[in-house]
Each structure stands twice: as structure tokens, then as C-alpha cells.
Structure 1
Amino acid sequence: MTSALDLLTDLIRFRTIGGGEGAAARHCAAIIEKAGVGTQLLGWADGREQLVARTPGDGPPLTFTGHLDTVPVDAEDWSADPWGAERDGDRIVGRGTSDMKSGVAAALIAVVNHASRPHACRGVQLVLTAGEETGCTGLLGLDDGARSAIAGGGPLVVAEPTGNELVLGHKGAHWMRLRATGRSAHGSAPELGDNAVVRLARAGVALHEFDGWPTDERFGRVTANVGMFSGGVATNVVPAAAELMLDIRTVPGVDPDELRTQVGALAGDKVSVADHVLLAPVDTGADDPFVGLVRSALADAGLDDTPQAPARYFTDASVLAGLLGAGAAVPTVVLGPGETAQCHVVDEWCLASRVEQAVEVYGALLARWCG
């Protein structure tokens, strides 16, 4: 039988940078189908199908989710093959090990183990997505027919990296596209033009240096990152247009309209501001009964069950929690074996022992869910 570490090795070797998730989803489907779990591939884009697997059950299922895509990688910067899944003691090195193919592998194998055990199953669902790294575009891109394949009503476990610690929420994301316009001229006579790059660069610096973003006691401060910048057509031409992509991470209570207005004020005249991605924060109360169930499962595995601070990253829960709850977010926890500090870094790694530990925790949770 396939182990979580075997599956993790396989998944790392699928190069799922902005594409190819469909092949990884089919590989996962073949494994989980052997346990008698029904599967369905949800079309979104060519080669980027997403997987829904669900056991029979009497009520709304407990859903586990994880994404199959990864951020880009420059292999020349790495000391190991980013897709080699090389072992270094307890470490497994490769792009996507922590973020978040380790969580996908642990959740899938835990569901396989659970489905293979004769019992009266209450219902369990696994949703593996594409395009999470680009703003949950895989889930957002599903049509109504595909969305109807995802059974709602039950709670959600997001297997994103927390080092197997319990996290009850995460920040949202408000990505904005800023565009500046100017007037072109010959590069030898810049005074005859209107340099859009300079205008937008000043806006970028102002946004970077601004320290008046809202703050939440639990979630911390709203942050803003100038993630991409482009402009100009040639060295010897005054640029008439420039574009900047701004990544703002939000906290509960922040109004998107007010935030957009603040960005516009900082950017200044002749700079347009438009939404690119808008994802809500996720927050579940510590007193929620499902949180109590997860804490009991952690205790069963001998792990600390203390809720940690909300995560600074966003997850597919920004979309999926509301989809499962038909608009009202279902109870959601973030709990996965990856290392938060290893997300998007060179020589990314996760610990094999944490992956096996996550299988145990998820198994304990599933046993309690159906108990």
C-alpha cells in the first residue's frame, strides 16, 4: 500500500508550477479509488483538473483540502534537484514539500486508511485544488456545475503548513493592479515626455513605506508588498505606461473599499487602482465544537493542542469555507505537516516525521468524527 512519504515523493516529481495539476490529481484519484472512495475530476483549464473524493455518509462530510500547484523555482539557485525529493536525514527537499504537497499526501493517506477500516462512516471529503498560489483561481474558476460536485455543510481542515500545530484562521488577500499613464518622448529629451515609470515608482515607494495600515489584536498588522513592476518599451523612450501589482494581506474588519481608497490616495494622481484578487480572512472561534474535536485528536497523538496565532498567508478556505457553507463560512482549522518558514524558499524542505505524524493526527480526527 502507498505510504504518505511515497505519495509525497511522487507529488514532488510532478512539476505543477502554474499548470500540470491535472496529472497529479489523476495520480491521487487512482490511489484513493483503491479504497473504494468515489472520485470526480473537476474541469477548469486544460491539464489543470481538480479532484473531489468522497466516502458515502449519512450527513454533511468533514472536508480536507490542499492545493497541488507550487510557486516557480529557479533550479540554478538550489543545491538539490527541486523535483528530486532527495532525503537529507529527516528532511525531504523539493519544491512544494512544505507548501503543500506534504499536507496533501498526509490527508489523502489518512482518508484511504479511514475508508479501508470497516465502520459506519459519517462522511469524509477530500478536495485537491489547482491555482491556489495565484489567488485561489482554481476554485474561483469553477462553474456552477463543477461546484455542485463539492458536498457542503460540514467543517473544513486545510492541510497547509503549520508544523502540525493548530491554527484557527488566516489573513485575507487584496491584490490590486496599479497602472500609471504618461506621455512618450525621445529618451534624449525626457523633459518633453511624462514618465509613467517614475510616477508609479514613487507610488510603490510610498506604499512600501506607509505604516498606517490597520492592525488587529490577534491577526496583526495589514501588510503591503510591491510584488511586480513593469513599464517602458525601450531604453531610449520615455515610458508612457507602467503597471504595479500590490499584494495586501488583510485582517478581519478591514473594508475593501476603504483599503482601495487608501491605496489610491498613496499612489497619487494619474494612477488607476483596480482589484485583481479579493479573498476574505478566515477565523473560527476557539470555542467551536469542531475545534474541540481537533484538539482531542491532537491530544490523542500526544501533540500540543493549544491554538496558535492566525496564519499570515491565505488558503483556499477563503473560497471553500463559504462554498461549503453556502455563503456562511463553516468551522475551519489550518493544520498541516509543512514548515511555515519553508514556503516559497530556495531548498524548500519538510520533515518526514511530521508527515507521518500528520497522518496519525488526521486519522485520530477521522475516528472521532465517525465515532
Structure 2
Amino acid sequence: MSSPSIFLLGATGYLGSEFLILLAEAYPDYPINALVRNATEARKEKLERIHPNLKVTEGSLDDESIIREAAIKADIVINTASSDHWPSVKATLDGLETSSAKRPGNPPLYIHVSGCGIISDNARGQGPVSGKVWSDIGLDLKDCDQTNTHLPSDIPIVTAGTRKENPVRTIIIYPAQIYGVGRGIQRTTLWLRIFMDYAKTVGYAGTWGAGLNGQNTIHIRDMADICLFIFRKALVSEADEGADGLYFSSTETTITYGEWARKMGDHLYKKGLVKEPGAKPMPDEVVEPLGNYGWSLLGGNMLGRADRLTRMGWKPVYSDQIALLDDLPEAIDACAEDMGWTTAETQSADAPSLRYDGQNLYSER
């Protein structure tokens, strides 16, 4: 029996490349087609060194026809790229629907990595409004605040996984705040790059509002292991899918944004990279351009329990060995190195090297 084919989006990213390392160790014979933007020979070589049976398709998330055709040809699509890029998600779902019609009784599998922004309480930098901790067992996305991030993509995915005609086997993974220096191509997490960019711009570590909002945490190596764990279970039809295929991926440890922002500020100040230690709220002219997206994702509380994973027998390893605050200095140094940030010169006249198109936030690094 031939190995199932995989179409992977986000292979060069923080989580995607860490997950690819585990895929190579567990399933080196599985053919992988990786969508790669600006697919230089150097980028191709990096990916091919990680997984021996990988080929690269050049394209971005905006190349809907490329994504659609690749999804049609794949047995499994795994998306670790932008969770809010609806055109690429729609192209994926369209391709998988076509594939399902061609293989009745054997629908393709779609594993989509989203985020806990779906359960934000929009507290605008304050502590938990209700103190609610969400469980992923019995979770209905329609019960979430419909202004929250990720839902415009996630709800159609669940619909594809529950319909009778041309169904898709759908799984959505909801990581908590991922931390740690990765072993893959992108070493640092997007939230760290976001706040480092803003610190470089304003000259101090800043928060959305008071920074009293918090989130559960998960180490990058545990997060990649969760992806592999769910993937393994799905291969043998032992994973919950469709309406039940929603997985919070977190530990019970929580931390406020203000706590790690203060640690960031102190470390950056010690390194001579900012002019003030500690952390404080950033001014309106800095945070308001991101509007509700920023306040919901960066100023809200997102507290969820990984009850489904616990029931399935998954347990964290790295998250229990090193906490976010202990790991943060190393991650900050890695991020500063990647940014080429070597002095305390602020760039208040320049915008951070992030791009926001009204729906998605991208790092240009």
C-alpha cells in the first residue's frame, strides 16, 4: 500500500518547520508537497535536508489556483500557515471538496492550525472578564464571540467536516501561547516578533492596555508533538473529527502579557536594545491601527483546557521542564539576532516590520 501524500502549507514557518522535523523522523517515506513563497534554491535545500521525500511548489497563500490543484491531488492537507487567510483556506476547501467527489467513501483529511483567539473575552488589557476557562469537549464555534479572530475560516472548515455530500475529514488545532526557540527554519514565534518590533519602534516593551490579560502556554516542541500525535491518531481513524474535531493545545500554566512584557523589557534594557526597562501600555496611535483584531488577539484573555488531548492520553514534556519566563531571554536574543537589532536606537518614525491587511497580520521577517 502506498504512503498517503501530504500537501503542507507553512513548511518554512515556526511551527510548520518544527512539525516537519517530527514528520521526517516518524514518516520519512510519506511524500510531502510544500508550498513555499520565494522558493530559492537555498530555501528548497533547507526543507529537503529536513525531510527526504519533500518537493517544493513555489507559491504564496494568495495563489489560490495553485493551492486548489495541490489540495485536489493530496490525500492529506496540513495548514500551519496563516489561520486567518480566508482565500487560501477557501481554495483548500474547494480542492478537497473536488477530491472528495472523486473518491466517494474515502474523503481526504484536512488538519488546520488555528489559535485560541476564538475564545478571547476582549477585555482590552484587563484581567479575565468572566474568569471562564473553555473546554474543547462540547465546544461549538458559534458560541464564541463572532467578532473574534480565526472564526471566519474555522466555521466553514467545520461545515465541510459535517456535511453529507462530498465531506472532508476536518481537524482544527488551537494552540495556546507558543514559546521556545525552534529547531526549524523560523526560530521564533510570531507574537514575540510582533512585540519585539513594537519595542524597537517605541523604545520600550509595550502592552495592549494594562497587560493584565493572560493565556495558557505551550512549548514549541510540545506543540509540534501535539500535531504529530493528532496526525498519528487520524491516520488510523482514532481522532475526533468534524464537529468534535476541535483541539485546544495547551498546558494548565497561564501567564499575563504584562508579566512576560516586563521580563522582555528588562532583558532588552540589559542588552542595551531599549532605553527603558520594564513594560508599559503603548499609546493609542501605536495600537489602534490594528483595531479590534489587535485588541481581541493581543489584549484579551484566552483560557482553554486541552480536555480532548488529555482524554486521548497526550502529556506535555518540554513545557513541564522549562517555563515561558525562563526561556524568554534566549528567545529574545534569537529574535534580535534575526532582526539585526544591535543598538538602542529607536525608530519611532518607522512602522514595525509587520503587515496588516485588515484581516491578517504578517511578519515581514
Task: Tell me the TM-score normalized by structure 2.
Answer: 0.27
Q: Which structure is larger by alpha-carbon Rg, 1 or 2?
A: 1
